[in-house]
Amino acid sequence: MKKLLSLLALLLPLVVHALPFVTTTSPETYPIHWYQLKTNGLYVYCTSNYWNALAVSTSASTSDEYLWCFISLPSDTIVIYNKAQMAYMKSGDELAWDTDDDFINFVEEDSGNDFYICYRDLMRQWYLDYDECYGFASSAIKVHTFTAIEALVEEMPVTDPPTIDCELFDFHCVVTATGNGEVHLYTNGNEVDNPYTVYRTKEDQQISFTATAQEEGKEMSESYITFTIPKLEKPGLVPVDVTLSPYDFHIPTNYLNNNGSEGYRKLFDKDKNTKWCVVNNSGAWQTIWVDFTSDKPIIPESYVLTTGNDTQYYSGRNPKAWKIYGKSNENDDWTTLVNVTDGPSEGLGTSNSTDYTFAIDNINTPYKYFRFEVSEINGINIGDNNYTFQLAEFQFNAKPYQRGDMDGSGIIDVEDVNAMINIILKFKNISDYPGNGDMDGNSIIDVEDVNALINIILKLE
């Protein structure tokens, strides 16, 4: 029996009491268990004072001032941290901003669910002691124990889920993931560029994407979505802004106003208050024309004639018969694009400063040089006593082009790739082609545009 008691006496010191709380290694290591501290029936909270920071209340609270967590340091010391002040207890009831403080408070275990709060000073150990008259004080003897009552378990905050958007273009779509912190985009289990380009093909495509986002100090979040990429039926058309510039004209030598304030250049100045006006004082009307060029090759699908500012009173000045010619190169022969023999029946009205639009049919060739020719006018007006012609404006509406159709053929093929390469190598200018090869919309024709066009061709074959 004596031997058994001796053995138990040796084993009893090895009994380890379980801590009455859960520790963490830092205030940023999750999950964090937050506790209320209770002693003598009072709840300990932290004020905003650096000195005498601790106070007590008879009422429990879950506000941050009343919440404490226990930090386990590598030295096997457990210190106490306040959620509101983001600081540690020290020297009894003061605050420390890091664990290196020499006088930081630490926990000393007691039996059961209680523990002491103490610190070391001058090789002595002082215990936190609540005195009803003087608040917290320090004593060299163990007087008051504390109890931890769990109030909150704080999990690591989660980053807001990212969003995944798909923007549709003529030949492709762009998938973009956006969110807070570091954002990544994946498809088919592989990380891809963000934004990520998907080219449209002859069939609809269903593609699933995953995006992740993670802010520092927060858990990663994910989003999932499946997009249906519509098949490429007919690419969207891009409008063409046409600028016309006159460079030559012809009128008989005996006509008036051939190059004055109402000369032929007024027909293209985009001002309805000016006009080209030609007066014939020598009998029957004779043909006149003006030659002009566009800033780039175009396929005209309609044209606009704007009447003069006094046509209501001088309707005889409107053209009755006219032609429009075109050619692709300066030395080519003229091709007749329009031939009108009776302007009024075609819809040219007599209101002042009014636009009248006329369609041009069956034109699929790009032209850069043009001639507008007037061979007959409506007649002589009372007050004119002669044959007089006038129009305020002439303008083309060009056929919209398919992006990538550099040569305006209506087909995206190798010739369009060659055209892009000619531009990049500076063998040709952008203005030499009717189409637009800026596939990615960055206003530059470069290798990326060539790659995009090749991908389209390969996937359309």
CATH number at 411 reads: 1.10.1330.10
CA nearest neighbour of 352 among 273, 422, 279: 273
- Domain presence at residue 3: no
Residue 346 phi, psi (nearest 5)? -80, -10
What is the mean pLDDT of the segment spanning 271-281?
90
- Domain presence at residue 452: yes
Taking the CA atoms of 137, 142, 143 and 148 in sequence, report the sign of the dihedral they define: positive
**Spatial distance between the Cα atoms of 211 and 175, rounded to a whole number of angstroms:** 11
For residue 224, what is the enclosing H or E element? strand 221-229
- Domain presence at residue 235: no
Residue 312 confidence (pLDDT) above 60: yes
What is the mean pLDDT of the segment spanning 159-185?
91
Phi-psi region of 4 (alpha: psi -120 to 50; beta: other; left: phi over 0): alpha
**Spatial distance between the Cα atoms of 289 and 249, rounded to a whole number of angstroms:** 6
Residue 14 confidence (pLDDT) above 80: no
* pLDDT confidence bin for 25, thresholds 50/70/90: very high
Task: Name the domain boundary from 120, 154, 188.
Answer: 154
What is residue 26's predicted lDDT score, i.e. its pLDDT?
92
Residues 393, 406 share a domain = no
- Domain presence at residue 292: yes
Q: Which of 254-258, 301-305, 399-403 has the highest mean pLDDT?
A: 301-305
* pLDDT confidence bin for 11, thresholds 50/70/90: very low
Residues 179, 58 share a domain = no
* pLDDT confidence bin for 460, thresholds 50/70/90: low
Could you tell me the CA-to-CA distances from 397 to 100, 244, 294, 303, 394 in Å, in that order? 79, 11, 11, 6, 10
The token pair that represents 54 in the structure block: 């601790």
* pLDDT confidence bin for 203, thresholds 50/70/90: confident
Residues 394, 408 share a domain = no
- State the residue range of the domain holding 417: 402-460
Residue 271 confidence (pLDDT) above 50: yes
Residues 283, 201 share a domain = no
Residues 174, 142 share a domain = no
Phi-psi region of 443 (alpha: psi -120 to 50; beta: other; left: phi over 0): left
For 99-126, the DSSP string reads: TT-TTB-EEEE-STTEEEEEEEETTEEE
Residues 415, 395 share a domain = no
Q: What percent of the chain has pLDDT over 70?
A: 87
Residue 86 phi, psi (nearest 5)? 50, 50
- Domain presence at residue 234: no
* pLDDT confidence bin for 389, thresholds 50/70/90: very high
Residue 239 confidence (pLDDT) above 90: no
What is residue 317's predicted lDDT score, i.e. its pLDDT?
92
- Domain presence at residue 2: no
Domain count, the chain: 4
Residues 390, 292 share a domain = yes
Residue 162 confidence (pLDDT) above 50: yes
Residue 4 confidence (pLDDT) above 80: no
What is residue 442's predicted lDDT score, i.e. its pLDDT?
67
What is residue 9's predicted lDDT score, i.e. its pLDDT?
37
Residue 355 confidence (pLDDT) above 80: yes
Q: What percent of the chain has pLDDT over 90?
A: 46
- Domain presence at residue 185: yes
What is residue 15's predicted lDDT score, i.e. its pLDDT?
39
Q: Where are the beta strands (DSSP E) in 5-91?
A: 23-24, 32-39, 42-46, 54-57, 68-72, 78-82, 87-90
Residues 431, 382 share a domain = no
Residue 7 confidence (pLDDT) above 50: no
The answer to whether the peptide bond before residue 195 is cis (omega within 30 degrees of 0) is yes
Task: Name the domain boundary from 353, 370, 399.
Answer: 399
What is the mean pLDDT of the segment spanning 124-150?
82
Report the CATH number at residue 124.
2.80.10.50
For residue 424, what is the enclosing H or E element? helix 414-424
Residues 390, 259 share a domain = yes
Weakest-pLDDT range from 76-80, 242-246, 374-378, 409-413: 409-413
- The DSSP 8-state label assigned to residue 194 in this structure reads S
What is the mean pLDDT of the segment spanning 119-130?
84
- How many H-runs (helices) and E-runs (strands) does the chain carry? 4, 33
What is the mean pLDDT of the segment spanning 49-72?
91
Residues 224, 170 share a domain = yes
Residues 251, 211 share a domain = no
Residue 231 confidence (pLDDT) above 90: no
Task: Name the domain boundary from 358, 377, 399.
Answer: 399
Residues 392, 255 share a domain = yes
Report the CATH number at residue 348.
2.60.120.260
CA atoms within 13 A on the CB side of 442: 7
Mean residue pLDDT of the chain comes to: 85
- Rounded to the nearest angstrom, the gap between the alpha carbon of residue 349 and the centroid of all alpha carbons in its chain is 47
- Taking only the tens place, the pLDDT of each residue in 249-261 is 998 877 776 556 8
128 Cβ contact partners less than 8 Å away, ≥ 6 residues apart: 92, 93, 105, 116, 117, 118, 136, 138, 144, 146
- Is the overall model pTM greater than 0.85, yes or no? no
- Domain presence at residue 214: yes
What is the mean pLDDT of the segment spanning 292-307?
91
